[in-house]
Structure 1
């Protein structure tokens, strides 16, 4: 079976590289081409209108094929073959990105052909190469300074000309933003009570306001944002793209529910489901409510769990149907990661009255009966389950048009090309909710997949998102941020703890700076000096990003020394030689060494699927991928490495060494000096215990070996502790969490937790102290870790301590974190900021003080 996270970008490019390229691109000029084959496709364009270009490298008729889509994602035709033969190689080589627009030429009404302006963007160092390639072709590149350049219909060019009588893109965004300010604030402050026949818990003030906003969004009959009705007629136009239609666009029912983590989004969503449950308002008394009914194909194995012969409110005359027919039920599909699955069940038990909802757990062994699923109020499933059914034509999940789909932890679909992302985007639903406390984790492009899921046109189409928002952000243009802020204001609700009425105890964040011991400092400084030499060599020949995995391994080793030298191999010299591998086709042992280093960390992603690597392999050019991702990538004609473009075959891939089942000899605390960071942590834990012996603490580390290293000093100091890491089953994790939450005198007071096991969906409110042993690249990950403790249900002041080694790479990581935090904050404000969506060459220079 294919890996659930395997990405296959429809345009034949890879997300991480794409972001890097576009962040430095500028308009060279435009060419005029023809769109042909209009008679074969249903998509149409009218007047001056943007269109999307999508590479089809696997097209059986033309390997250079570029299809053309309108703003409804309907195919209009193809770029004529001769023009595609010029543009496709430049696109495939990552030398250019392209945008297209059909000019307003009302007198030309050729049935089979449509003129189109293709605007070409490239990095400055590629300008001469691109111009040369176009000059050798029949196409004419019209650049700034040419007399014909004024004919460009591109928004970027029009904005420079300040054309009179036409609204610029930014003027359109500004008007939409002003309208949202006028009516949006009122909606967000309208409190609503949940139906008491269903929800037994009293909602807090911010939850009632949130419920009012959610219900208003679901019941709206307004035109979607950026649509207007033409005066005096039944014609509707999208003011951004100029697409016109006689059919009234469907309202955008749903959005992004982005309240801060720990503010009780789940209870608010259960209240939303209750409001639209059949029979709500029928004055049903508690005595008429049935016993709670859950059903799971895995557990019940076909046995009927729901009670028989009892009345189901409002369902006497239910009409169940499939496909596009109107559904008589209001079934909600909730998609969440497996770690959050039991949380939803617990929340249902804790906050709703017995029997209020009929729930089915679509996981493991499960029904294939569409009508059975439609008889439930709530169907719970996981992202991985949907991914496995992506290619199944008869999947009941895909056949149903759901009344509502809720994506919990929606940031998990940030890579739009991954199987699980494709699966949820393809779902049919009348209302769609993306729920996440961290909608932006790495950069603004994270939001594109949410737009695709919400079907928010034209932003749900990649080429339009790039053109209208992403390009301006990548180039540090304040207009891009202003546009992003308007989008967030129209479809999202976000409240943070500091501004809410939750009444949570305060959370304080402190940084504890650690001085390394002499031996540690010598080793760190020696390795950093050697590493800088290697990186300067890469920079001098322009191959820094081509050696991305090697760079990551260098940085990772420096970070491990900051924790404990026992995490590093004893032969540091050998490790340094491995950095200088260049083409290591004949040196697989060096590749394995780098791969084993990278396995130690869990905060880097496969460049193809933008997710933590699964079954890691490394290429002969020292780049790291999921096995399934790279195997699929090299099936293409003229296969090469997606990062450095070196030709690749399956024989150029090297497998990761098996992770040892027991702790290695060099990862032990006995008989050696305790590291500076471990000593600092132990002092903090002992000080906390002396203040209050019952205080509980959670210690987070990204390195599982570091958690194991901590066990011996904790035992020696007399601490009772538990460990929670990714090697445990879901059942074992639940048992560990339950033990930790136990308030008894003999209960453990320290939890050693890894990020993979503890990032989302668990409650650790028994603790009031959090220790972060290392800084993570992604600040949202740190926030998630803190909010396992600082959330509704917490009764004590929460203290978070970050342990940072002085004069080290860790201090510089904090600076990079601030860039990402700023973007996440500014997306919901009206100020300027610059988007940095990934760690690029400049970031690496900062980290290494180059």
Structure 2
């Protein structure tokens, strides 16, 4: 919405207020549309104010104009340097008049200034009422309206006066030095001041009220043209670039302090703008010369002396600079009185001479300015002329132009100094010498790169700053160059020639000279031939690993190649100077493999070796090599392992009374290869795929081939020992088997006597630990570690006891070779294949940490390649078992309100305690896990933590809603829990319902009888603790599984479930996991999923997930 229109402003008064020149410039600004929207703010009694923004030269200015009653222009304000009634204020008023008249015309009315009575309406104003008959609706005549809109004097007014003559007056002053004692002017520097002047009535140049403010603010008063106002505006604006220490006021500006060379362009336009440049005295002329060139004249003085005179050539004239002064800092021009130098020197007031202003083609350098300060030049005595030419003339010549003005002397030709690199070639050695070459008189001399004695006199002046700059340029182009190095041999010589010389040749002021016979240094284009070999050593399991590289006609030591690779070199030199690139993928891969091989051997600093267990590493070497040369023993063992599928499967031994499935025959063949070559491994098939029968088949074959073998030792959990003896008698009745169930002390029989005549001895991990010395003292044909996760902790005594057993063959049998950490996998391999990863520390650094942190996908892939030849794993999904489906479902259990209150209250307390302990997880681990266990128990049954809590268990309520019906339909359910206290509460409920059941936990002594009750069908329900039921059970009679509480180790759960979903199962298996909603159990399920992904990543695919139970994991368990 627009403000109410204000009155038209009287154009005649506007001209009077601004002056004709400023008015015309305001008209131009208005016509070119520089005024942004004008705002009218009404005041009292018809007055008001106008405000607008106007686009100036590079800036936008704010304008405010007061308008009095009757349209009289009042005071104006503008943010431009001129201020007052400037061109921007005029343009604002004209824009207002235009908009007001157009609005009045569109509305059919009139808009006229309210002139005082009897005053004639200004030209262009709308007529008063009753005038101009015939004008429709009182609308103003278009000529009147446009005249008012565009402004300007009445056509009847006399023509405007011609602009007055104006000039820029120059004044040379000598000012006393400041900040020193005395104020005398003698010896003080001359400075150049300027001010605007106008022509007086007598024709002379006078100040006449002009100064640097009024020349633009009151331009109309002086009848200045727009071009003249602009010129003074520019000159004054440029004064902002002058030195902050220059003296100036509103009358005078010091011109020689102008820092910008734009000054010369302004002075050159003075004549075009109608401005005269005059001196202070008598209007003497001031001339702006053509751009000049500074140089030094070397002249023959009296006798044989020399004279050095600073000179400027301008427009073909040579200006002596004895009386010249500098404009700007650094100087971009000069001013000099135009008179005889002696007269100038003898004159007190230099304003009596015409003035010459000389712009310089280039700014003065520091050295040129200093030369000007000599005030007339320098004289060199005859006996010092030679020193001048030797030591000073080359420097002078480099810093400024030097001529001989009168031809009285012949100047020597000056060559710039250079840095000289001399390279002396001697076969594969290059000797380097750095020197500086300077001119001395008419000769060139060489100086050492660094002065031998910094205090000694040099034959010529050394330019330290220039030398520093050249040295920096060399270092920038070739950062590896060492100026102190004098010899480059072989590889270093190649780097010098191939890399550094091309860069050095681009450095200015550097000359390179060669002496001696230069080698060709040609590239060998043929690809290298790589041969990898193994050679037997005095140690049966370790082989020397050799790598040979042939390039062209030369054999290169792999040690040299990889030393070069380790040093980061990308090329290598052959004996004849030819070279080949190391930037090849096969070399990069070899470097990685050799580094890995060294990290795996027992003594990394010794000869490069590879262990028989490292078949996966050898396979990677073969992939890179062009050819291989293998020791016979190595070829027989490792090649068989790597080419298992191509080998003819060994016949199944006749003494095995079992029909092997196809995948079991493959497992038996793999075990046979391991056995034949004395290699251990891990049989890691899924639970229920028949790992036991595959192992028994291997024992049968071994005994058939060598009846004199010592017995095999099978180590298993205590509860599984009877199962092993039974399975051997079932599948290999010809093999005498002994089950050891007591320690030697308790049995009263030595182990040697107990094992006499046996082909297989079966014992428990407990007895192995207790009678470690006895088992260690007997030779064994082989050791089979069943449920090998029992020895997954390398710090336990059981693990150490298994490691010390005397057997050439060890096999770990487990469906879960890792559960929580990759260290568990290393622990099993350290028992069965100790040469694969000899060092736990190296394994941790190379594999465990990067993989468990999710940082290194390549490390995971590499680990799988290394382990693959020595670990066989098949899942149920990967073999055709034709098992019925296993359907799994997670059921969320809602806690009752009373149960929820108890849980939430305890959760807050335990959370506060645990979060405070996480700062030192290792030290507080026991307390932390105690709190987590408390919360897990509360999720099951509040009475497990607080016996006085009279709250029913929501999980048991849900279980027993379905269990009686399931039993009634003839199904056989298994009920698992990690907590025996909770299992016993389930047992109590079964007792109340009179449903018979079997119960098994770690304290059960007669395990076989308990199993018999369920497998024979005497009882329909089997309550099993998760730990006790995780191994050694074959429960295919069951077809329902209830997991009452989740555990963060998924392998433990899977082992328990697969007691029933395995070979022999004929019915569909239903698995239900009961999880209390909004409790720690939900977090346990999330953590379990992450651990399952780790297991899969290492054993089944290439995904990477972290597995370690960290402080962050524990925080997640406690997060609401």
TM range (shorter): 0.5 to 0.7
Partner of 1:705: 981
User: Which secondary structure does the structure 2 equivalent of 1:277 belong to?
Assistant: helix
Query: Is the contact made by 1:218 and 1:253 (CA closer than 8 Å) also made in structure 2?
Result: yes
1:440-479 mapped onto 2 (5 Å cutoff): 440-476=818-854, 477-479=856-858
Return the offset for 1:512. Answer: 0.9
* Partners of 2:737 and 2:910 in 1: CA distance: 59
Q: Is the 8 A contact 1:766 1:789 kept in 2?
A: yes
Aligned equivalents of 2:721, 2:859: Cα separation in 1: 37
What's the offset of the Cα at 1:769? 0.7
Residue in 2 that maps onto 1:352: 732
Task: Report deviation, 1:741.
Answer: 0.9
Change (3 A) 1:790 1:419: same
State the match for 2:1008 in structure 1.
734
Equivalent residues in 2 for 1:51-200, closer than 5 Å: 166-169=590-593, 176=619, 187=644, 192=649, 195=652, 197-200=654-657
Aligned to 1:238: none
Q: How does 1:456-605 map to 2 (within 5 A)?
A: 456-476=834-854, 477-538=856-917, 542-569=919-946
Change (3 A) 1:185 1:426: closer
**Aligned residue for 1:786?**
1057
State the Cα deviation string for residues 522-572 of structure 1 (Å, max 9, x = none).
111222223233334445xx34554322222221121111111110125xx
- Counterpart position of 1:247: none
Match of 2:20 in 1: none
Instruction: Spell out, residue by residue over 1:125-148, the C-alpha distance to the aligned partner (whole angstroms, 9 max, x if none).
Output: xxxxxxxxxxxxxxxxxxxxxxxx
Shift of 1:352: 2.6
Measured after TM superposition, the shift of residue 342 of structure 1 is 0.3
**Alpha-carbon distance change, 374 to 482 in structure 1, aligned in 2, over 3 angstroms:** farther
1:272 equivalenced with 2:698 (yes/no)? yes
Question: Which residue number corresponds to residue 774 of structure 1?
Answer: 1045
The match for 2:952 is: 674
TM-superposition CA deviations, 1:696-730 (whole Å, max 9, x none) = 1111111111111112322333422122122221x
Task: With the length of structure 2 as denominator, give the TM-score of the two structures.
Answer: 0.43
Distance 1:707 1:452 in 2: 38
Q: Is the Cα contact below 8 Å between 2:736 and 2:757 reproduced in 1?
A: no
Deviations 1:568-594 (A, max 9, x none): 125xxxxxxxxxxxxxxxxxxxxxxxx
Mapped contact 2:765–2:798 kept (Cα < 8 A): yes
Q: CA deviation at 1:337?
A: 1.4
Structure 1: how far apart are the matches of 2:1031 and 2:589? 51
SS of equivalent to 2:1055: helix
Secondary structure at 1:767 match in 2: coil
Contact 1:441 1:824 in 2 (8 A): yes
Give the greater-gyration-radius structure (CA): 2
Paired residue for 2:781? 403
Q: Give yes or no for the alignment of 1:833 onto 2:1104.
A: yes
Matched, 1:385 2:767: yes
SS at match of 1:794: coil
Q: Structure 2 vs 1, CA of residues 256 and 191 (structure 1 numbering), >3 Å: closer, same or farther?
A: farther
Distance 1:701 1:189 in 2: 47
Residue-by-residue CA offset, 1:726-782 (whole Å, 9 max, x unaligned): 2221xx221111011113xxx211111112332211222221111111011211111
- SS of the aligned residue for 1:558 comes to helix
Query: Conserved in 2, the CA contact under 8 Å of 1:188 and 1:212?
Result: no
**2:689 aligns with one of 263, 272, 280:** 263
Is 1:755 matched with 2:1033?
Answer: no
Distance 1:464 1:193, change over 3 A: same
Residue of 758, 763, 777 corresponding to 1:376: 758
- Displacement of 1:362 after TM fit? 7.0
Distance 1:265 1:537, change over 3 A: closer
2:738–2:754 contact (8 Å) kept in structure 1 = no
Residue matched to 1:338:
718
SS at match of 1:333: strand
The answer for the alignment partner of 2:967 in structure 1 is 689
The SS at the match of 2:703 is: coil
Structure 2 CA distance for aligned equivalents of residues 330 and 819 of structure 1: 44
User: SS of the residue aligned with 1:168?
Assistant: helix
Seen in structure 2, the aligned counterparts of structure 1 residues 696 and 830 have a Cα distance that, compared at 3 Å, is closer
Q: Output one character per residue of 1:379-436: Cα deviation in whole Å (capped at 9) or x when no partner.
A: 112212221233x3xx2x3233322111111111111121110011011212111110
Give the secondary-structure state (helix, strand or coil) at the position aligned to 2:974: strand
Q: In the superposition, relative to structure 1, how do residues 545 and 370 fare at CA in structure 2: closer, same or farther (>3 Å)?
A: closer
Conservation of the 8 A alpha-carbon contact between 2:903 and 2:942: no
Alignment match, 2:1094: 823
Would the alpha carbon gap of residues 560 and 382 (structure 1) be closer, same or farther in structure 2, given more than 3 Å must change?
A: same
Describe the shift of the 1:769–1:162 C-alpha distance in structure 2 as closer, same or farther (beyond 3 A): same
Q: Which runs of 5+ in 2 are unaligned?
A: 1-538, 543-556, 561-565, 570-581, 598-615, 624-637
CA 1:822–1:176: 2 relative to 1, 3 Å: farther
Q: Which residue matches 1:33? A: none
CA offsets 1:652-677 (integer angstroms, 9 cap, x no match):
xxxxxxxxxxxxxx59xxxx553211
Rounded Cα–Cα distance in structure 1 between residues aligned with 2:648 and 2:911: 57
Q: Deviations over 1:618-662 (max 9, x none)?
A: xxxxxxxxxxxxxxxxxxxxxxxxxxxxxxxxxxxxxxxxxxxxx
Provide the C-alpha distance between the structure 2 equivalents of 1:212 and 1:71, rounded to a whole number of angstroms: 24
User: Shift in Å at residue 819 of structure 1?
Assistant: 1.6
1:45 paired residue number: none
- Contact kept? 2:721, 2:739, Cα under 8 Å: no
Name the CA distance, whole Å, in 1 between partners of 2:713 and 2:761. 5
CA separation in 1, counterparts of 2:755 and 2:658?
Answer: 27
Judged with a 3 Å threshold, the aligned counterparts in structure 2 of structure 1 residues 524 and 219 are, in CA distance, closer, same or farther, namely: same
Q: Is the 8 A contact 1:507 1:799 kept in 2?
A: yes
Please report how far the alpha carbon of residue 847 of structure 1 lies from its aligned counterpart in structure 2 after TM superposition: 0.4
Partner of 1:654: none
Question: Would the alpha carbon gap of residues 502 and 522 (structure 1) be closer, same or farther in structure 2, given more than 3 Å must change?
Answer: same
The structure-2 alpha-carbon separation of the partners of 1:517 and 1:752, relative to structure 1 and needing over 3 Å to count, comes to same
Cα 1:768–1:190 shift into 2, 3 Å = farther
Q: 3-state SS of the aligned residue for 1:818?
A: helix
1:805-827 deviation line (CA, Å, top 9, x unaligned): 11111111011111211111111
**Inter-partner Cα distance in structure 1 for 2:975 and 2:1100:** 33
Instruction: Please give the per-residue CA displacement for 1:6-65, whole angstroms capped at 9, x wherever unaligned.
Output: xxxxxxxxxxxxxxxxxxxxxxxxxxxxxxxxxxxxxxxxxxxxxxxxxxxxxxxxxxxx
**Alignment partner, residue 10 of structure 1:** none
Deviation at 1:503, TM superposition (A): 2.1
Q: Which runs of 5+ in 1 are unaligned?
A: 1-69, 74-103, 108-148, 153-157, 221-251, 281-313, 316-327, 571-665
Shift of 1:255: 0.6
In 2 relative to 1, CA 179–215 (structure 1 residues): closer, same or farther, beyond 3 Å?
farther
Q: Answer yes or no: is the 8 Å Cα contact 1:488–1:828 preserved in 2.
A: no
Greater strand proportion: 2
Q: Measure, in 1, the Cα distance between the counterparts of 2:694 and 2:904.
A: 52
Deviations 1:430-462 (A, max 9, x none): 211111011011111101111211243251332
Q: Within 1, Cα distance between the matches of 2:540 and 2:863? A: 19
Change (3 A) 1:829 1:265: closer
Q: Could you report, residue by residue, the CA deviation over 1:769-805 in whole angstroms, capped at 9, with x for unpaired residues?
A: 1111101121111111112212222221111110001
Cα RMSD over matched residues? 3.7
Deviation string, structure 1 residues 287-312 (Cα, Å, up to 9, x no partner): xxxxxxxxxxxxxxxxxxxxxxxxxx
Q: Distance in 2 between matches of 1:189 and 1:569?
A: 64
